[in-house]
């Protein structure tokens, strides 16, 4: 399995081979990510919440979902690479922040947590 | 630096501690991802494209961008974990697909590549 | 009740008073719209589909939803005004297009309509 | 030109003819809107900000943009109809709210207005 660093290197090479870095400023990459997120959400928009797990296992739907998940991941890695941000470190930092923000006792079973 | 697997395990524990898995069906997680992508795009909406790199280095903006990038990453990892999808494999597969779809010669320097 | 034209005029004045037209190129307004759509989707992300109607009637949630709907509408009107597009005409045209694309007989009760 | 009320009536009939109201709970319609907003943002993601006005006038791009704008508008009208919200009133209310929130003097020419 490739590591995130290897994938990032491959993505960088892919863009360089096509002279696409000129389009990949952080603003454009944020837009790319938003449009890919929109395509992912489209996969589930007519699916009932209680059928969404089963749908995610159906081969045809799964292939489409995997492709959209990958597109989001690619946009995210391209953005992180462009702005020099370590994705795993950012996630670890945010997780620590969230642990303080959503104390276990007050948050348990509550969908109405703020934000 | 934590690995994606370690982060995924931490995210799973975080949700379990708060009894939040009940909210985390794939449909809801896709919505979470879309809303977090919206917050990330908001960081750049009034920034000029040719100033977006510099903006991404300013400490205050950078902290906000890093937090939004992390939120998107968290939503993506939660979704992958829920549906049993390996994110790095999905990205590697998509990258191979894209290499065939956007041949170097025809794609070079062209922003109008399809999709 | 104000008409769309009156609202558009008010929005244009609002931006002009604040010298904000400089930020309102179509690209930025599309990003504004995407970020506001993300905030709207956030209102429903932890709500069950079969409870979403009831939620939309609860006063506190309703006020938030109305505000997000309005933000999306404002972004849409600003964009239409900027690019000189008549929103109602565009919708009427698309509706005619959709009627041909989704024939009643083949589309009835099917969530799997393409797109 | 059709009014918003007429368009809403046509949309309602369109969905009823296809027995699609079953899919149109507010949660799903918010997702529809987010995915359509993603498609609209995709139209501008590789366009420079200072070329976005010109791009919006090119016939082929314009037709695509108009179609995506319409899709966003349709999703918004469907949602408003479903939850019994008057879109123009909501926008007027928000505009009044924004006028208080962004005083002219303090907001003039500032992209860094909060949110």
> What are A46-99's pLDDT values in tens digits?
999 999 999 999 999 999 999 999 999 999 999 999 999 999 999 999 999 999
Checking if the pLDDT of A114 tops 70, the result is: no
pTM of the model: 0.96
Question: What is residue D112's three-state secondary structure?
Answer: coil
pLDDT at B35: 98
- Angle B4-D45-C45 from CA coordinates, rounded to 5°: 55
Q: How far apart are CA A78 and CA A84, in angstroms?
A: 10
pLDDT at C48: 97
Q: How far apart are CA C52 and CA B8, in angstroms?
A: 30
What percent of chain D has a predicted confidence (pLDDT) above 90?
95
* pLDDT (average), residues B57-79: 98
ipTM of the complex model:
0.96
pLDDT band at C72 (very low <50, low <70, confident <90, very high): very high
Which of B31, B44, B46 is opposite residue C45, by nearest beta carbon? B31
Contacts of C36 (CB under 8 A, 6+ apart): B38, C68, C71, C72, C74, C75
Q: Which chains touch C (3+ CB pairs under 8 A)? A: A, B, D
Q: How far apart are CA C79 and CA C85, in angstroms?
A: 8
What percent of chain C has a predicted confidence (pLDDT) above 90?
95
* Upper half-sphere CA count for residue C111 (Cβ side, 13 Å): 16
Query: DSSP label at B49?
Result: G
pLDDT band at D115 (very low <50, low <70, confident <90, very high): very low
Checking if the pLDDT of B29 tops 50, the result is: yes
Q: What integer best gives the mean pLDDT of chain A? A: 96
H-state helical runs in chain A:
4-17, 26-44, 52-55, 59-83, 87-101, 104-107
Judging contacts by C-beta atoms under 8 Å, the chain B residues touching residue C46 are 23, 28
Give residue-wise pLDDT tens across range C88-105.
999 999 999 999 999 999
What percent of chain C has a predicted confidence (pLDDT) above 70?
97
Which of A35, A38, A46 is opposite residue C111, by nearest beta carbon? A46
Count of pairs with CB atoms under 8 A, one residue in A, one in D = 43
């Amino acid at each position: 399995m490739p590591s995130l660093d290897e994938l990032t290197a491959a993505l960088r090479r892919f863009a360089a081979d096509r002279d696409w870095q000129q389009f990949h400023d952080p603003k454009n990459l944020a837009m790319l990510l938003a449009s890919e997120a929109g395509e992912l959400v489209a996969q589930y928009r007519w699916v009932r919440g209680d059928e969404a797990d089963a749908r995610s296992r159906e081969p045809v739907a799964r292939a489409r979902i995997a492709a959209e998940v990958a597109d989001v991941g690619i946009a995210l890695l391209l953005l992180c690479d462009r702005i020099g941000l370590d994705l795993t470190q950012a996630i670890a930092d945010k997780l620590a922040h969230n642990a303080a923000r959503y104390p276990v006792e007050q948050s348990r079973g509550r969908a109405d947590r703020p934000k």
